Amino acid sequence: MSTILVTGGAGYIGSHTVLELLTAGHRVVVVDNLDNSSLESIRRVEALTGKRVDVHLLDLLDRTGLDLIFAKYRIDAVIHFAGLKAVGESTQQPLRYYHNNLTSTLHLLEAMKLAGCKTLVFSSSATVYGDPERLPIIEDQALRTTNPYGATKLWIEGITADLAKAESGWNLVMLRYFNPVGAHESGRIGEDPAGIPNNLMPFIMQVAVGRREVLSVYGNDWPTPDGTGVRDYIHVVDLAQGHVAAIDKALGGALPGWTAINLGTGNGQSVLDMVKGASKAVGRELPYRFSPRRPGDIAACYCDPAKAQRLLGWKANLGVDRMCADHWRWQKNNPQGYAQE
């Protein structure tokens, strides 16, 4: 049994990963500043697993507070989710994004180094491929970003790569997620975005539950089979299990130095495919209308997941029907997210 520090553990992907870590027998310590998340998610994870999580309300900009966490526990490895993640907002508030995401990660790496904890799994993103030069995307293809949020992911990848070059003993794993959707099958935890959702699936589900009127489909003139954008949607439970696999391999010494790994299904789904899947799960046709392309969007993005299979022994198992059914169960049972309780 290892002790894993999870930053941002109360968030969407964080809470699902905490659940899978507990189920796999790990002990979990969460630090979160609750900027865009709720403690209720952790309370529910505890209820679902029958296990306890130590939660510390802490902002990673507080370096002293972070050192106290490493002094209190013998942390074997860290999973770093905490960070600001809204693309549009990042273009309006670049300094806030760079300061928060980069400084917090530097603090974390410094605190880890001081404590002698050298195993980190980082929440990176397919956004580091920008408009991909070819499909399916493999890990060693060109990296580029188009907005400050994406740039913080790319910079953190670069900082950690430099660290692995300079010092021995680190196990630094960058997990590049494609498009996480869905929820735990219990319907007790799920995605709870603040304000108007930026991402497709939460928007569709808020239409389904009556919080929004109609989905705007951003463009039907993309060079894709049905003209709408194509993405590699991955069930958040598959994604969470990918983190457990990465932690176990890294702690076992199988991922020395610095490694970047795509976590996706390898399948591309269009916006209309997802609307269809969601309508099936909800049991009625969900309304949508075509609107102009969203600035900064790309036509298609999906990965080659072979490296994850090879290095982690992991692959995604759950398809679009499960993604939609599970996301809908969560949204139906919690129309206002965690706020209702």
Query: Which spans of this chain sit near ligand UD1 (rule: CB under 6 A)?
Result: 87, 125, 127, 150, 179, 198-200, 203, 215-218, 229, 231, 271, 294, 296-297
Q: Which residue is nearest to ligand UD1 (CB)?
A: 229
Within 93-235, residue ranges assigned H as helices are 94-115, 148-166, 200-208
DSSP string for residues in 244-274 = HHHHHHHHTTSS-EEEEEEES-S--EEHHHH
Output the smallest distance, CB 158 to ligand UD1, in A.
Answer: 17
CA 293-299-301 angle, 5° bins: 135
**Min CB(103)–ligand UD1 separation in Å:** 20
Least gap, CB of 248 to ligand UD1 (angstroms):
25
**Could you tell me the two tokens for 162?**
């430099």
- Closer CB to ligand UD1, residue 107 or residue 231? 231
The residues, ordered by sequence, that sit 6+ positions from 20 with a Cβ below 8 Å of its Cβ are: 237, 240, 241, 243, 244
Annotation says 149 is catalytic: yes
Please name the residues in contact with 229: beta carbons below 8 A apart, sequence gap of 6 or more.
218, 219, 222, 270, 271, 297, 298, 299, 300
Of 215 and 247, which CB lies nearer to ligand UD1 in the complex structure?
215
Task: Tell the smallest beta-carbon distance from residue 68 to ligand UD1 (Å).
Answer: 32
Q: Rounded to an integer, what distance in angstroms lies between the CA atom of residue 93 and that of residue 98?
A: 9
CA-closest candidate to residue 198, choices 333, 275, 287, 85:
85
Determine the Cα–Cα distance for residues 294 and 165; give it in Å rounded to an integer: 39
Q: Which is nearer to ligand UD1, 163 or 234 (CB)?
A: 234
Amino acid sitting at position 242: G
Cα–Cα distance, 340 to 44 (Å, whole number): 14
Is the distance from CB of 39 to CB of 65 less than 8 angstroms? no
Closer CB to ligand UD1, 217 or 318, in the complex? 217
Least Å distance between CB 137 and ligand UD1?
12
Query: Between 17 and 171, whose beta carbon lies closer to ligand UD1?
Result: 17
Catalytic residue among 149, 177, 233, 288: 149
Catalytic residues: 149
